[in-house]
Amino acid sequence: MDGLIFDIAHLLAGGLVLVSFMMLYQDRLYALLNVYALHALVLALSVAWQAFAQDAPHLYVTALIALVFKAIIIPVALHRMIARLGIHREIETVVGIGPTMLAGMGLVALSMVVMLRVTAAADPMAREDLAFALAVVLLGLLMMVTRRNAVSQVVGFMSLENGLVLAATGARGMPLVVEISVAFSILIALIVIGIMLFRIRERFDTVDVHALDRFRGERR
Amino acid sequence: MSGLSFDQVQAILFIPLAAAALLGFIVNYRLGARINVLACLLTLLVALSLFVTGAPPVGAYFLIDELNIVFIALNTFVGFTTAVFSASYIGHELAIGRLTPTYLRFYHAMYQLLLFAMNLALVANNVGLMWVAIEIATLTTVIMVGLYRSHEALEAAWKYFILGSVGIALALFGTILFYMAAQPVVGEGLDAMTWTVLIARVAEFDGALINVAFIFLLLGYGTKVGLAPVHAWLPDAHAEGPTPSSAVLSGLLLNVALYAVLRFKMLMAANPEAIAPGPLMITMGLVSLIFAAFMLYRRRDIKRMFAYSSIEHMGIITFAFGMGGPVANFAGLLHMVMHSLTKSAIFFAVGHIAQAKGTQKIADIRGLTESHPWLGWGLVIGVVAISGLPPLGIFMSEFLVVTSTFAQEPLLAIPLVIGLLVAFGALMLRLNSLAFGAPRGNSAPVKASYVPMYAHLSLVLIAGVYLPAPLVSWFQHIAALLG
């Protein structure tokens, strides 16, 4: 039984990394949002499995938050926002998809090497979780730097936060305070972003961050 | 912590929070500004009363010790003076139509929420709670920076939001790793995140794991301190937001993030297996100092220039704490206090100058000492102080940093001194054109409050000439604690 529990946890956490990779090569905003919803769904399953495996019922709350807010409410809200802004066209990527995927693989390898080495003494399940979580965090970062569009940067940031939730649930018995705060921070972040996007819309008629760069404070 | 008794720690958290809620509903901006000042004054008084009554007992969530009481006193004091400055600053912004009363309501509420978040980060005895507080502080400042809604302000806020969130995410990952290291030793649950428990048991933690954790924490919180190479948000955020928010950012928020780094540095120092955190901090500090010193030469925007000067000084402070030892820690602590006071005074002056001249471009501002003598001379004193000339306080702290470096690592003193001199040259060059010569641009008098600015500057002057013995022995005690 123990082996099965571990395998399923491993599968779900690995699945999260895989979905992170899928996000890297999406070049349409709607598709990106759908993959993000899948990401959040896998996260919810993974957290729920951890709750079962660790016999920690409070983690079900975290799983529920992930399911309701991240897999449903946020994608729907962003979907509407994109429709209202009329920007559902292609995403420009700064670097091509090939190099991005290669860089992503490098990052995953890096996180395995670093985390598995330093957590040799920890419980194996937490160890795998942490290594995968770091991979998800780094892939989220990668996505943020390779995208120009403000919405896809935000999605990258949210996938990064999913990685953090995975790490937090993997750490056995971590106080709930932190998990809820992560969920709340996403919500607050969305509000901030919402305000931002609408302000950006008012002023520039685009959410391309490159358009923002033109207005740098210090032109010569 | 029984329900009825209300200790001071709860009060310094509750007053700003209640004020934030109240200010959200106050339409009249004059009344709002007054309530803002009053709430800050009350918080300051409560914070000062901690010195009289002594620290309350350590709880599971809150902690007052010799280290954070310095930060709390500084935080509430500069928060109060900035509120006074802000009251006269926003009147003018409203008059010229850069802000509307609705936004002001929002601005005041955010100001108090920011103070609440910073106080919470300082008193937190739980590393998770500290992280939450710093995240709230980041979000409120993002909103404040974007307040003017101009192109530049939005770009600055966006950049700050993205970089700040990434930093804060890395810090959370570091916090989780620290919990993972603590959990086998301390046990599951709240205790493994309580700082007082951690410091007592940290020697038994797995060294390799907390090494990785510290690197994440240093990079994450270092983003908020404004250390190079993760400083890119800082100049934009300072230049484009309302000036009171620049003063609070430079004077306080950078310190709060540094405080978080210091707490973890103390934990690292107590573990024999862990790497020494010093060299990492020294490297980041030196890189920030030298980079910012050279960047100072090419600035065309006055607020942006002083933002780079903040990076420079945070670099010096991080360097000093990284160097460690009683003298360098003492110097770092003193430098931090002096920098907060001086830099916020400079921003008070710069805010009114930009209003009087109607521009932030350095090239369009000349001869301030003739056209606006009070502001001009305030700026002169402030810049003289910040560039480290005697007899002001920063001279003393920089001198101590340099001498302790010579004593411990003579070779490191060379880049340190070069950085200081380069920054000094840049500031003097700009000061000359800003303050002297024939006045250029608008010379109409401006309604300004000089009290906060000169109050800060005189404190800096007094500290440079004479430091009271109790203060010295108190700082020495903290320096010893920091190791």
Q: Which whole-number Å values give the CA distances from B106 to B41, B111, B161, B352, B360, in the listed order?
A: 20, 9, 18, 22, 25
Closest CA–CA distance from residue B212 to any residue of chain A (Å):
8
Percent of chain A with pLDDT over 70: 75
Average pLDDT over residues B155-176: 85
Q: Which whole-number Å values give the CA distances from B59 to B4, B12, B126, B273, in the listed order?
A: 16, 16, 10, 29
> To probe the interface with B, which of A195, A215, A220 has the most B CB atoms within 10 Å?
A215
Does a structural domain hold residue A127?
Answer: yes
Which comes out higher in pLDDT, residue B193 or A180?
B193
Does a structural domain hold residue A159?
Answer: yes
What is d(CA A130, CA A13) in angstroms, rounded to the nearest whole number? 9
Contact B47, B16 (CB under 8 A): no
Evaluate if residue B390 carries a pLDDT over 70: yes
What is d(CA B420, CA B116) in angstroms, rounded to the nearest whole number? 34
Closest CA–CA distance from residue A215 to any residue of chain B (Å):
6
Closest CA–CA distance from residue B360 to any residue of chain A (Å):
10
Q: What is the mean pLDDT of chain B?
A: 88
Chain B residue whose CA is closest to A185 = B135
Tokens (6 digits) for A61: 């709350």
- CA Rg value for chain A: 18
Tokens (6 digits) for B413: 């003193």
Average pLDDT over residues B111-140: 90
Q: How confident is the model at residue B37 (pLDDT cuts 50, 70, 90)?
A: very high
Say if the Cβ atoms of A181 and B132 lie within 8 Å.
yes
Evaluate if residue B137 carries a pLDDT over 50: yes
- Taking only the tens place, the pLDDT of each residue in B79-115 is 999 999 998 888 888 888 888 888 888 899 999 999 9
- Taking only the tens place, the pLDDT of each residue in B185-211 is 888 888 888 899 999 988 888 888 889
What is d(CA A72, CA A75) in angstroms, rounded to the nearest whole number? 6
Say if the Cβ atoms of A173 and B183 lie within 8 Å.
yes
Of the ranges A40-44, A81-85, B42-46, B268-272, which one carries the lowest mean pLDDT score?
A: A81-85
Say if the Cβ atoms of B135 and A172 lie within 8 Å.
no
Evaluate if residue B289 carries a pLDDT over 90: yes
What is d(CA B39, CA B56) in angstroms, rounded to the nearest whole number? 22
Evaluate if residue A220 carries a pLDDT over 50: no
Evaluate if residue B439 carries a pLDDT over 90: no
What is d(CA B455, CA A177) in angstroms, rounded to the nearest whole number? 41
Residues 183-202 of A with CB under 8 A from B: 185, 188-189, 192-193, 195-196, 199-200, 202
Backbone φ and ψ for B366, nearest 5 degrees, come out as -145, 155
The beta-carbon neighbor of B165 closest among A121, A189, A202 is: A189
Say if the Cβ atoms of A181 and B299 lie within 8 Å.
no
Q: How confident is the model at residue B422 (pLDDT cuts 50, 70, 90)?
A: very high
Does a structural domain hold residue A190?
Answer: yes
- Taking only the tens place, the pLDDT of each residue in B212-229 is 999 999 999 999 998 888
Answer whether A165 touches B (CB < 8 Å).
Answer: no
- Taking only the tens place, the pLDDT of each residue in A97-144 is 888 999 999 999 999 998 888 877 777 778 888 899 999 999 998 988
- Taking only the tens place, the pLDDT of each residue in A47-78 is 899 888 888 887 888 888 888 878 887 888 77
Which comes out higher in pLDDT, residue B448 or B476?
B476
3-state secondary structure (DSSP) of residue B361: strand
Question: By C-alpha distance, which of B170, B144, B128 is closest to B82?
Answer: B144
Percent of chain B with pLDDT over 70: 99
Evaluate if residue B50 carries a pLDDT over 90: no
Task: Please give the residue range of the domain that contains residue A104.
Answer: 2-213
Residues 92-121 of A with CB under 8 A from B: 114-115, 117-121
Closest CA–CA distance from residue B362 to any residue of chain A (Å):
11
Does a structural domain hold residue A149?
Answer: yes
Evaluate if residue B52 carries a pLDDT over 70: yes
Chain A residue whose CA is closest to B305 = A218
- Most confident stretch, B162-171, B191-200, B335-344: B335-344
Evaluate if residue B2 carries a pLDDT over 60: no
Give pLDDT, residue B4: 40
Give pLDDT, residue B367: 85
- Taking only the tens place, the pLDDT of each residue in B355-385 is 888 888 888 888 888 888 899 999 999 999 9
Which comes out higher in pLDDT, residue B444 or B227?
B227
Does a structural domain hold residue A219?
Answer: no
Answer whether A134 touches B (CB < 8 Å).
Answer: yes
**Positive/negative CA dihedral, A207, A209, A211, A213:** positive
Evaluate if residue B348 carries a pLDDT over 50: yes
- Taking only the tens place, the pLDDT of each residue in B229-276 is 888 889 888 888 899 999 998 889 999 999 999 999 999 988 888 888
> To probe the interface with A, which of B166, B210, B360 has the most A CB atoms within 10 Å?
B166
Q: What is the mean pLDDT of chain A?
A: 78
Evaluate if residue B301 carries a pLDDT over 50: yes
Q: Where are the domains of chain B?
A: 277-483
User: Quick one: residue B2, left, alpha or beta (phi over 0 = left, psi -120 to 50 = alpha)?
Assistant: beta
Closest CA–CA distance from residue A127 to any residue of chain B (Å):
10
What is d(CA B173, CA A163) in angstroms, rounded to the nearest whole number? 9
The beta-carbon neighbor of A172 closest among B146, B188, B206 is: B188
Backbone φ and ψ for A171, nearest 5 degrees, come out as -75, 110
Question: By C-alpha distance, which of A163, A161, A28 is closest to A93?
Answer: A28
Count of domains forming chain A: 1
Give pLDDT, residue B6: 61
What is d(CA B80, CA B86) in angstroms, rounded to the nearest whole number? 10
Which comes out higher in pLDDT, residue A210 or B109?
B109
The beta-carbon neighbor of A177 closest among B128, B180, B304 is: B128
- Taking only the tens place, the pLDDT of each residue in B309-338 is 999 999 999 999 999 888 999 999 999 999
Does a structural domain hold residue A41?
Answer: yes
Q: How many CA atoms lie within 13 A of A28 on its CB side?
A: 8
Closest CA–CA distance from residue B236 to any residue of chain A (Å):
7
